Structure 1
């Protein structure tokens, strides 16, 4: 392992600090603003809360973990379902309860250790659920790419589809053919090139930019002010089970990040601290109208390439995100991004999510010659992608990926053949 240019606790010089922090902000920028646009939230709030959540995370992990928290893609479908049934406020309340799950899990880990969690969420459960998350969104991505937005006719448009293709190809080329930092920002670069192409073919309405102020307060959603605080069983069962996936994702990121910076983050500052930091970031975000948060692989990739591990650089990126969220013209510019461009980049992003589930299965050597593994994965995939639901009443139902995740965990625990040997926690 090559030596760090700046270690975790080291502070860079001012000029270097600014450039390195901006680099991290742009690495997460495209994905972080895409999520709120897909679920009807404010991109400005997403940026603002990503910065706040990151600062909270760094404080709770005692300035030991250089991780950036951005918008979580795992919650896109649950937020959409919650919004359809009870409004966007329901989704925010659901996200608050997800953060409560994080707090409970971190408390149990603090008292009992983390091995039980690794056994409860093995790759044969988490992998297929991640695949479901990606493929369940595939129809949304394709519709966005091929059609004119609803307000403009909602019909198939080859012109709009061409913008999606240009965006998609740009992201692919950046990811495959370029090295270093460019390869870590295919989302942002794809959106920029797709936007420029869309301007050339005349499918952008610039009115909102002209009307926007240079500085603007992000659109907050406060419980009790902008929506009523109402909790239903359906809401809980739509949102809360997704914590199964996001906590697994969190553990994976901590293991990978620990290897990059040559530290054992599972033990110090401890998985309980990092999970509660992640959960508190999600709670604060949802409290003001932002999407749930997760540690970002894009920023871990930036750390790996630059060998700059300084947590102060991450904090700088968080401060830039907060600053950018108040730039009204910039946020208005983001609003003008054509739906087709977002659809094009979503085709790649959602496919990568599904493929990362496949990769988890491959990396962990899951044997599909084993009937047990075949049954668990098959049931999860069909229930999740097929949109199965269990209705207990008109106001209480469990469906889709939430139902798939719950059934996957249950099958893994009850089917014969569960290995009793200790799992490799990856921390040695």
Structure 2
């Protein structure tokens, strides 16, 4: 849909979690017995998302630029990383041993990124994760200093197997509750594309509508078979920031590999053995890079924070996003990324320069 012009990898969006729980009455334990109800709502969100995408394609994207100039998009990108930070810290702080393993993993990633020879320098997340995993294995399984890695399920898992598919059911109440998440997906995708544009040094705005449409179609297809709603995956933006590899061919290869691995329960079981401390270290790096990319957008576009109209929206949105400021309206929950995005947009529009102000004359 984007003609191979936007290096982006779609993954599960956290924005659906709250509304899916509300729509299905899920208790949080075991498998959700009413996941089909949620899938119908996710498809509805995909349809709404697609309509917005078509409007952008046919009307243009300038109105989005007006609503979200660099002062705002930088905030949105930074908030994505900051909002996810507690997840990373929580993983790293599971135990004292996990905390040390997270720090060792972070150090390994940093050393690989800076000092590894040649092409290896472009694989800091992978190599740093492997180093952290092996060190954890030595000290936990070898010296019993931490919770040992359990390989029981790995040994039992089959090499080849089919994934489980679930069909959707359509309930007006659930659809009305979940469909508005499309607005958040637009904000997330916009921020991610701006971040990728900042990394690559290319203006990707003209592909916004098509990128939105691709995300919408993917969300509909995913939910039709039992998958989640999708967004441009923030973690992969962090990986691009580290590796500085932006080739869309890589993403096609990654997609094919991911599909094939979906038919390998053994691989899934192997991934499940990665210790939480190692994951915490990796996510601290990735989410931090996303947040830092927001600052990069400000620097590259020379956003002037001596002006209150730029400073105040950024300050409010960053705090809302980092603190996960959540608003609940009629059963619909708007989380930290959403509230931060809308607060930044609204405040900036209220304060934006229409005529010279005395303090800035």
Normalising by the smaller structure, the TM-score range is: 0.7 to 0.9
* Residue 406 in structure 1 maps to residue 351 in structure 2: no
1:101 Cα deviation after fit: 4.8
* Matching residue of 1:126: 73
* Matching residue of 1:141: 88
Q: How large is the RMSD of aligned CA atoms in angstroms?
A: 3.5
Q: Is the 8 A contact 2:19 2:332 kept in 1?
A: no
1:94 Cα deviation after fit: 6.4
* Matching residue of 1:195: 133
Q: Is the 8 A contact 1:103 1:279 kept in 2?
A: yes
* Matching residue of 2:269: 332
* Residue 250 in structure 1 maps to residue 222 in structure 2: no
* Residue 183 in structure 1 maps to residue 121 in structure 2: yes
1:300 Cα deviation after fit: 6.4
2:5 aligns to what SS in structure 1? coil
2:174 aligns to what SS in structure 1? coil
2:51 corresponds, among 92, 104, 114, to 104
* Matching residue of 2:256: 319
Q: State the TM-score, normalizing by the size of structure 2.
A: 0.78
Q: Is the 8 A contact 1:136 1:385 kept in 2?
A: yes
1:371 Cα deviation after fit: 0.9
* Matching residue of 1:113: 60
List per-residue Cα deviations over 1:378-416 (Å, max 9, x = no partner).
Answer: 2212222233333444x2443422122122222222224
1:231 aligns to what SS in structure 2? helix
1:358 Cα deviation after fit: 1.7
Matches within 5 A, 1:207-222: 207-222=152-167
336-345 or 82-91, which moves further after superposition?
A: 82-91
* Matching residue of 2:359: none
Q: State the TM-score, normalizing by the size of structure 1.
A: 0.67
* Matching residue of 1:56: none
1:106 Cα deviation after fit: 2.7
Q: Is the 8 A contact 1:138 1:350 kept in 2?
A: yes
Q: Is the 8 A contact 2:238 2:286 kept in 1?
A: no
- Number of residue pairs matched? 336
List per-residue Cα deviations over 1:122-166 (Å, max 9, x = no partner).
Answer: 12222222222222222221221121xxxxxxxxx3222222222
* Matching residue of 2:301: 364
Per the alignment, do residues 346 and 243 of structure 1 end up closer, same or farther by CA in structure 2, a change over 3 Å counting? same
Q: Is the 8 A contact 1:372 1:415 kept in 2?
A: yes
Matches within 5 A, 1:233-244: 235-236=178-179, 240-244=183-187
